[in-house]
Structure 1
Amino acid sequence: MKIMKLTLAALLTASLVGCASSPTTEMVKDITVTQPACCSSYSEFAWIPMSGDSIDFAVDEYSQIGEFPEGKSYFAGFVLPENVERMRVDLKSWMRTSGVFAPKVLLLSPTFQVVESYELTDFDFKPSSLFQLNSYHKRFEMNQTTTPYMVVYSPLEYREGQIEVPHPERIRAEELGMARPMVTDPIIQHQKFGSLELDMKPTALRSYRASDAPKATVVTQPKPAVAAAAPVATTTATAASVAVAAPLSAKMLPESEAFYNSQIKAAVESNDMQKALTLMEEAKRAGSSTAEATFLELIKK
């Protein structure tokens, strides 16, 4: 029975890896970032609130572009919710046949100074399981007082690299105590885009007096953009990005104001006025006090 279970696990793992052992010459590797950076400082980034237990997100052509010490990179930015004092975070970057996003993480202070950074060498390789792909994995803790902001990006040096992962048949042979088979371990190329996941567990919550408690927010998932892609330098959303919509009576959080305003700006600059209007109305319903002014100012230019 044990052998049957191990064999089943190996077969399912092989199906998850797919064609990863196919020649890497067939894969297109474009690691250049040609669009201008969105912002001149970390304080100008748009931030996704870290609500819920898990966030699946993509770094893709719709993501922000930042100017980092190593050069430009597409990135995703996250911020702790106001009611969380400390959060344990597991970041995973999935290894697919098309490649993997080799991450570097910056943890920023409330004044947007770099407090902690995690290089690719700090990440572990996590082998695939029955229901998950191979991944880069790192666990760390964020703190509302010292490190409430997180940036995930990939420097050019990382994007130029690759990783060799164990072949499923070799893993199965090792589990069964068999001789190593004559197989070639797949090579996964590092890319400028990729699919990632955050698993989050608050380890300490913040308490408030009733008069000082932050307004409740509802996490929603915006629809992926269907129009032609706007200049990446001014967009922030991915197909799996998370926005915040507050009740009609609540005032929108500053990071959510920045998120909507950047999306409105991107839509206007790409001449997609219908999308800009839709975003403005959505932001107003969610409690934004600046979205309409932002839209009117942009169309005057």
Structure 2
Amino acid sequence: MKIIKTTLAALLAATLMGCATSPTTENVKDVTISQPACCALFSEFEWIPMQGDDIDFAIDQYSQIGDFAEGKSYFAGFVLPENVDRMRVDLNSWLRVAGVFAPKVLLLDENFQVVESIELNDFELKLSDMFRLSSYHNRFVMERKSTPYMVVYSPQEYREGEIQVPHPERLRAEELGLARPMVTDPVYQHQKFGSLELTLKPLALRSYRATQVPAPVPATEAPVKQQPQTVKVEKAVAASAPAMLPESEAFYNSQIKAAVEKNDMQKALSLMEEAKRAGSTSAEATFLELIKK
């Protein structure tokens, strides 16, 4: 019995030692981008018009990849619409369980030169409420004359980071003066993908002329009737036939006479017309003389 207890104790000790020395596996996030960049120049980017009140968009594997100064990054590009001169923009990058897109914003002029850079440190952490998630938030103004273009991307240095957010229950307890609950503040990993939102408020509108404007027609002006085009048809003038030989004249006249004598007027008329087309000058006179008799 003593031997059995000793054996069980040894097995238990070995098991505990094995558990203590077994390696722990941790999920390592992938923030690298191996796909080729679509473009290295801002002028080659594709731009989304900033129309409407809100634009919900995702930066994911289907987004464009740009080659920025800090390296490659998925990004989204936006441009002011033609009818807006100044626009107030609120940018939110939502903190979700899968992570958060840590944004950097570049504002470009009409020649695609960087005028202003908004770093991650310029964003504030906006905590969640009953209707919205926590987010990185920043408000700025875009102007058509100086900053009509905007690029949102995330450098690799940002993607390697994380952010810890106060737990809602802890904040609630602090507001009510209650004891701090036994909760852990959640940590959100920065990722190369994420969900974002633009809230747009035009501050100044502008009028502009369309590129192609049809000529104005006064409402009181009567429509102009288009005159029908008359096509002048000229009567073809038949070339004068050469004079018929006397033998041919005599032949046609004899055939016309024979047809009239047989009272076959249809044949006589046909022979007369044929003779005239062939150049006869006496066939018609012969036919008229015969029918008078």
The TM-score, its normalising length taken from structure 1, stands at 0.61
Give the number of equivalent residue pairs: 189
Determine whether 1:120 maps to 2:105: no
What is the distance in 1 between the residues matched to 2:112 and 2:155? 19
For the pair shown, the structure with the greater C-alpha radius of gyration is 2
What residue number does 1:204 align with? 204
What is the distance in 1 between the residues matched to 2:167 and 2:26? 19
For residues 209-254 of structure 1, give each alpha carbon's deviation from its aligned partner in whole angstroms, at most 9, with x where no partner exists: xxx1479xxxxxxxxxxxxxxxxxxxxxxxxxxxxxxxxx9xxxxx
Shift of 1:76: 0.3
What residue number does 2:100 align with? 100
Q: Which amino acid aligns with 2:158?
A: Y
What is the distance in 2 between the residues matched to 1:138 and 1:115? 17
8 Å CA contact retained: 1:127, 1:133? yes
- Return 5+ residue gaps in structure 1 as ranges: 1-24, 216-248, 250-301
Q: Which amino acid aligns with 1:176?
A: L
What residue number does 2:152 align with? 152
Report the CA distance shift for 1:26/1:54 in structure 2 as closer, same or farther (over 3 A). farther
8 Å CA contact retained: 2:108, 2:147? yes
- Return 5+ residue gaps in structure 2 as ranges: 1-24, 215-293
Shift >3 Å, 4+ stretches: 25-28
8 Å CA contact retained: 1:27, 1:98? no
Q: Which amino acid aligns with 2:94?
A: W
What is the distance in 2 between the residues matched to 1:87 and 1:214? 23
What residue number does 1:85 align with? 85
Deviates more, 1:28-37 or 1:57-66: 28-37
What is the distance in 1 between the residues matched to 2:29 and 2:91? 24
8 Å CA contact retained: 1:82, 1:214? no
What is the distance in 2 between the residues matched to 1:178 and 1:144? 51
Report the CA distance shift for 1:26/1:51 in structure 2 as closer, same or farther (over 3 A). farther
8 Å CA contact retained: 2:93, 2:196? yes
Equivalent positions of 1:43-192 (< 5 A) are 43-192=43-192
What is the distance in 1 between the residues matched to 2:168 and 2:68? 37
What residue number does 1:269 align with? none
8 Å CA contact retained: 2:40, 2:68? no
Shift of 1:179: 2.4
Shift of 1:27: 5.6
The structure showing larger relative contact order (alpha-carbon pairs under 8 Å, at least 6 residues apart) is 1
What is the distance in 2 between the residues matched to 1:103 and 1:74? 11
What residue number does 2:31 align with? 31
What residue number does 1:20 align with? none
Shift of 1:40: 2.1
RMSD over aligned CA atoms reads: 1.6
For residues 76-133 of structure 1, give each alpha carbon's deviation from its aligned partner in whole angstroms, at most 9, with x where no partner exists: 0000001000000000000001100000000000000000010000000000010111
What residue number does 1:272 align with? none
For residues 162-216 of structure 1, give each alpha carbon's deviation from its aligned partner in whole angstroms, at most 9, with x where no partner exists: 00001111111122121222221000000000000000000000123xxx1479x
The TM-score, its normalising length taken from structure 2, stands at 0.62
Sequence identity (%): 73
